[in-house]
């Protein structure tokens, strides 16, 4: 195989069957890309979505199992919005503890 998932941060955390499935799909996708270099943009996008449809659930399962290495997936919830609209770090909702000042 041209590529393999050997990165300890990811590959070492994947289930052997999932790792094999991703490697096979990536290999098939690379072969398709080589054979279809003149394909239309929507065909490339469809191929990307197909590969993501296989890889994303496997990666999500790995992160949910705590195998994401480091601190897990980064929190992107504040991306794209106004910083003023973002919740404060630590997020505590209405049910969280409250601190009252006593004089």
pLDDT at 76: 47
Report how far apart, in Å, the C-alpha atoms of 5 and of each of 2, 9, 42, 66 are.
10, 10, 28, 18
Report how far apart, in Å, the C-alpha atoms of 94 and of each of 61, 86, 91, 97, 101 are.
30, 15, 10, 8, 18
Q: What is the mean pLDDT of residues 69-88?
A: 49
Q: What is the mean pLDDT of residues 9-30?
A: 87
Instruction: Specify the CATH architecture of the domain 1-66.
Output: Up-down Bundle (1.20)
What mean pLDDT is reported for the chain? 74
pLDDT at 5: 57
pLDDT at 13: 79
Domain regions of the chain by residue span: 1-66
- Rounded to whole angstroms, how far apart are CA atoms 23 and 8? 15
* Cα Rg, the chain, nearest whole Å: 21
- Note whether 43 and 36 are within 8 A (CB): yes
pTM, two decimal places? 0.54
pLDDT at 97: 66
40-53 pLDDT tens trace: 999 999 999 999 99
């Amino acid at each position: 195989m041209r590529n393999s998932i050997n990165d300890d941060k990811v590959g070492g955390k994947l289930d052997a069957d999932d790792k094999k499935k991703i490697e096979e799909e990536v290999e098939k996708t690379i072969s398709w890309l080589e054979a279809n270099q003149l394909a239309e943009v929507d065909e490339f996008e469809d191929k990307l979505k197909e590969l993501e449809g296989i890889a994303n659930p496997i990666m999500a399962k790995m992160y949910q199992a705590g195998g994401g290495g480091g601190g897990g997936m980064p929190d992107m919830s504040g991306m794209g919005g106004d910083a003023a609209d973002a919740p404060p770090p630590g997020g505590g909702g209405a049910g969280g503890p409250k601190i009252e000042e006593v004089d």
